[in-house]
Amino acid sequence: MFVPTEHRDPARLHTLGTAGKHRATARMQLEIGIAGRVDYQQALVWQEGLVARRLAGGSDALVLLQHPPVYTLGRGGDPRHLGGAGTTGVPIVRAQRGGQATYHGPGQLVGYPVLGLRDIRPDVGWYVRALEEVLIGVVGDLGVPAGRRPGLPGVWCDGRKIASVGVAIRRWVTWHGFALNVGKDLSGFAAITPCGITGVEMTSIEGEGGPGDVRAVIPFVVSRFVSVFGYAGWRSLEESLPEATA
């Protein structure tokens, strides 16, 4: 069952995004780092540093990037869902996020929020729904109706999955995050059972008639993320960005 979400209702976004007891984000600037195409392991090291920084009292951050082709499997994921990934020559990484098998590659926008949920709302279920709300709003702004499916995380266009969410929490600081399919080349998913859902059909913004350029999508993600989580605004990430690959 597909549950559409009204993505153009600012009041609803405000209610979801500022549900923390003290509305701490209303006084905070989110730091955003926008990188190019970054190796998965390199991005993981970058995340680890940002998590340590946040645990030490640093700012919330959001990293937006793309990865060269890579398959990942969540910490409790079933290796059988990797299917024929081992024959493709594409790296396979056991990730510390929740969830099952997925694919990252060019044309997909990956977001890694590093947020202190203790200061916002220490509720993992709420956090996942907030990420979904960001993504539903983004694709809606780009002319693609989307929503949720009961019992299945992520964002859906009817029965087709356009975005995945897989998070990790360390002492109430978030890492890992979401992946939004932008370009229409989804061939990397063919070797696996994405998200552990047999027969799932993946789709993308371009495949649904929207723009296929990741760079064009980034401003919409930034705007929606700041709005849904209720930040006062955003500034460029102070930490050095990882070097992009070709």
What residues are labeled active site? 195
Give the SS3 label for residue 103: strand
Q: Which residue has the tokens 């990790």?
A: 168
Give the separation between CA 5 and CA 13, rounded to whole angstroms.
11
109-121 residues labelled b (16+ CB within 10 A) or e (exposed): bbbbbbbbbebbb
User: Nearest 10 degrees: CA dihedral of 26, 31, 34, 35?
Assistant: -150
160: Cβ contacts below 8 Å, ≥ 6 apart? 201, 202, 203, 208
Run of H or E residues at 4: strand 3-4
42, HSE (Cβ side, Cα atoms, 13 Å) = 15
- How many residues are listed for the chain in this entry? 246
